[in-house]
Structure 1
Amino acid sequence: MNTNETDCLLDRSEVEQRFGIPKRFLELAATRGEGPKLVRIGRLVRYRVTDIRAWIEQNVSGQVT
């Protein structure tokens, strides 16, 4: 199989395992129109790896707490 890793579609459990973003956050963010871009395939919700990484980069804060 020659699938480009950045083209993979992940479900919420896979996003949580791979990026540490809780499934519940993804669910709530989707209902509010926030969070990473998502792909709807019928009733299924999936996330592209490239969209997750782009969303993380957009939310990097330069402030140290």
Structure 2
Amino acid sequence: MTDDLIGPEELAEYLGIPLPSVYAMNSRGTGPRRIKVGKHVRYRKADVDRWLDEHSIEPEVV
């Protein structure tokens, strides 16, 4: 596996969420962009980081 591709298990660990949550995001289409390689799902680290940036919430200024 190349350095810039990770599997669902690595994504769950990277995000600090349970693996079933990764599968749920995949089935709903709400997670980071993914790549199908045969029967395997892979994620580019750059796509994951971009997805995280897009879903960041700015703190409210009071």
Report the TM-score, using the length of structure 2 for normalisation: 0.78
Q: Which runs of 5+ in 2 are unaligned?
A: none
Q: 1:21 to 1:52 in 2, by over 3 A?
A: farther
Gaps of 5+ in 1: none
TM-superposed CA distance for 1:12, in Å, is: 1.1
Aligned partner of 1:37 among 14, 33, 45? 33
Deviations 1:24-50 (Å, cap 9, x if unpaired)?
A: 221111111111000001110011100
The question of 1:12 aligning with 2:8 is answered: yes
How many aligned residue pairs are there? 59
Which aligned runs of 4 or more in structure 1 are off by greater than 6 angstroms?
none
State the distance in 1 between where 2:44 and 2:18 align: 16
Identity rate, percent: 29
